[in-house]
Chain A
């Protein structure tokens, strides 16, 4: 069927480059300072027989970063800069239509966070016209790494300068999804990664472009960024998707667009991470109120004010889905009208095993509280100079910490003043 071919062609063009003997190679570069994870990843992909990673698209060393951001940023970075950028350049040259980078990293450790920040900065220097979105794993609140808050604030503040958009996924939230929605008893990293992959897939799988519904969008990253993060102060994005359940439950559930969208909207305004346990007692404030009382009302009822939202709908009868609920001006900040702040992408083709699915990419106050908490904890540690010598040893001075605190406080304040 023509539609099938078009979809496949779009997927192929976007995610894979061509290969001689028919096996597509992913357009990806893997970087790690330890070999274990990369080897696992490579073999798992090759096992499927459907695609694989390029042999020369990996860079790894034997020695890690010891969960030290400074080591990743100031030692590994400059040392391996040339090799890593060379690999990246080769991949970029393979692209006919190159628009930007999607960088997946964590912020609690040393390599993902420090080296990731370093590489992103290099990309900004060498490919200044390209778009950059960093997908960042927000560590567990009770994580194992003592200095994870230091690593986090250093990562976030540096990325805020060199990246265009930060797509943040909280480990705690995903853990809950696995436990409550998927009913998994022993949650492994593999389960967490599956949920992540599902969320990312539901955003970045091909969608029809707005002009004609026979044409798959060729620059999803650019379109998404233009809708959500044009303002340099507001770059934090989060993803919420619905439905998300185990195969068993799926067999017994039917979905309507009205139901899905109502849930999704409530998730947005009550700052819920997933479908269950949504706070039903949060409503948007009355639009006639002056801004000051609006803010206090929000703070009391945990209302989540949005700057901009993008809803992506995939599945049967998608044209009939009514998204008017997301165009309520009460959901948004005063300086952006819903007509500019809200966008919806609809595609007939279903995603994964869900007959109908919806995902919301949101630039809103979702992450203000977690960010504020991390900054607070990091500040407390910093005030007592705990572990700082680990960082100054490798060139990250107290000044750099102070700069980071300042930038992030500014971000928190900007988001709070919506």
Chain B
């Protein structure tokens, strides 16, 4: 008898080694991805893998780039947000919605949800784009996002009882205040950005740029703290790097004046600026160390980005292995049970004894029950007809579909109006903001004046649409008021 020789299947061997690598690549390509061990445990639905997967799903699904505020949300809150985000994206499995939110079970369901998301779109690439470190000050000029379809349908909300319109007006007012504050903040940012570009003229080694961007200025001012800001991926489209350094948590009370003082001191010292960093510096000064460290920090950040990129490439090369493995995971799940039918009503138990009277009572009770049920049905039908099936029923979804189509048509018309009146279509993607002398712009550069002109014409189109819609509303209101005699309509004093 000798030892039985096992036939070595080279493909199987390759597969056996390839799977951990594939999962490791996936985990490296995602932000704070869990270890491959977590994935393996999730296949067997082990509870210890659950919270890591909730957190990963939260990172993937949350629309904002990760910040401290988001990471500190409780697991229950994260889980609830994940459920609602998946639901609004149309995730088909009901089992996920029924999972407890405390992270005690359900890791296999979560693994399935993650793979569903990975199959739908390029998730690691999207997350990488989100966390990109922009060195310059950027903004996007095209309005594609503004005209994209109106977004996922709002979750189904049922009001408890009648809603006081004053409460709704209150909330609208709050939204308006927030909006105005947002506009003020953006104006503040623009003004400050302009100042930085103006004051740091001539500081940059790259002649075509000539001035520092916010990230670069911040690196000089606060080498250690600066990189945490941009490395977290918070700096995006004229975003938060600058206000964060201005209203820095590390130094209470630091206002714009101290920033300028600091920065001026730095700029005054010769040889302290980006163009010279490659040249050997005077080793005697502490300034040498303080100069190199922001760039070391930047280098570290860029290296991290590179590693993520390589992980993404490795993942793309080996993902087939992962999908075959996911098939096995799916195989271990029980098939989904359709939602249970409505609960049977519980009738009171009537003993089966004989006796004519009891029979009579039984029959009467049954008749009464029939009658009540019919009456309830009639009332429900009448109410639904009256309320127009608010929020439910085929009429309502038809109405919603109609209004969505109307909105899409409006957006399409608006897009055409913009293309007609505005200048050439704006190129997509972010642009770096550079302040230049008049006439110094290159051919491929996009001039601010052109962009402003285009935006103004788009604004005019939108205002025309708004006025038209307001007029329609007014007419509709007048019609409704006219239909009710005895009602006096006092419009607010307009100007």
Binary per-residue interface labels of chain A (101-125) against chain B in the complex, 1 for a CB within 8 Å, 0 otherwise: 0000000000000000000000000
CA distance A406 to B493 in the complex (A): 10
B184 touches A99 (CB 8 A): yes
Q: Does A2 contact B (CB under 8 A)?
A: yes
B181 touches A231 (CB 8 A): no
Q: Does B490 contact A (CB under 8 A)?
A: yes
Q: Does B115 contact A (CB under 8 A)?
A: no
Question: Cβ of A10: which chain B residues have Cβ within 8 Å of it?
Answer: 253, 255
In the complex where A2-B252, A98-B184 touch, is A335 in contact with B167 (Cβ < 8 A)?
yes
B177 touches A226 (CB 8 A): yes
Instruction: Give residues 165-203 of B contacting A (CB, 8 Å).
Output: 166-167, 169-174, 176-178, 180-181, 183-184, 187-188, 191-192
Question: Cβ of A60: which chain B residues have Cβ within 8 Å of it?
Answer: none
Give the B interface residue count (CB, 8 A).
32
Question: Cβ of B176: which chain A residues have Cβ within 8 Å of it?
Answer: 230
A96 touches B180 (CB 8 A): no
Q: Does A219 contact B (CB under 8 A)?
A: yes
* B15 CB to nearest chain A CB (Å): 51
A219 touches B181 (CB 8 A): yes
B255 touches A129 (CB 8 A): no
A222 touches B177 (CB 8 A): yes
Q: Does B164 contact A (CB under 8 A)?
A: yes
Question: Cβ of A80: which chain B residues have Cβ within 8 Å of it?
Answer: none
Question: Cβ of A131: which chain B residues have Cβ within 8 Å of it?
Answer: 177, 180
* A308 CB to nearest chain B CB (Å): 9
B247 touches A230 (CB 8 A): no
Binary per-residue interface labels of chain B (302-329) against chain A in the complex, 1 for a CB within 8 Å, 0 otherwise: 0000000000000000000000000000
A230 touches B172 (CB 8 A): yes
Give the A interface residue count (CB, 8 A).
41
Instruction: Give residues 6-57 of A contacting B (CB, 8 Å).
Output: 6-10, 12-13, 18
In the complex where A18-B257, A129-B180, A130-B180 touch, is A232 in contact with B173 (Cβ < 8 A)?
yes
Instruction: Closest A residue to B177 by CB, please name it.
Output: A226
B contact face: mostly helix, strand, loop, or mixed: helix
A215 touches B249 (CB 8 A): yes
Instruction: Give residues 313-357 of B contacting A (CB, 8 Å).
Output: none
CA distance A275 to B180 in the complex (A): 37
* Most chain B CB inside 10 Å of its own CB: which residue of A10, A335, A340: A335
Q: Does B428 contact A (CB under 8 A)?
A: no
**Interchain CB contact (< 8 A) of B164 among A219, A233, A335:** A335
Question: Cβ of A218: which chain B residues have Cβ within 8 Å of it?
Answer: 247
CA distance A119 to B147 in the complex (A): 38
Question: Cβ of B493: which chain A residues have Cβ within 8 Å of it?
Answer: 161, 403, 407
Q: Does A212 contact B (CB under 8 A)?
A: yes
Q: Does A214 contact B (CB under 8 A)?
A: yes
CA distance A235 to B253 in the complex (A): 33
Q: Does B444 contact A (CB under 8 A)?
A: no
* A371 CB to nearest chain B CB (Å): 18
Q: Does B495 contact A (CB under 8 A)?
A: yes
Q: Does A324 contact B (CB under 8 A)?
A: no
A222 touches B164 (CB 8 A): no
User: What would be 9 A-B contacts, judged by CB atoms less than 8 Å apart?
Assistant: A96-B192, A129-B180, A131-B177, A216-B252, A230-B172, A231-B166, A231-B169, A232-B169, A233-B166
The 8 A-B residue pairs with the shortest CB-CB distance, nearest first, are: A230-B173, A6-B253, A335-B164, A9-B253, A6-B252, A230-B174, A226-B177, A335-B167
Which of A's residues lie within 8 Å of B, judged by CB? Answer: 2-3, 5-10, 12-13, 18, 96-99, 129-131, 161, 212, 214-216, 218-219, 222, 225-226, 229-233, 334-336, 340, 403, 406-407, 410
Which of B's residues lie within 8 Å of A, judged by CB? Answer: 164, 166-167, 169-174, 176-178, 180-181, 183-184, 187-188, 191-192, 247, 249, 252-258, 490, 493, 495
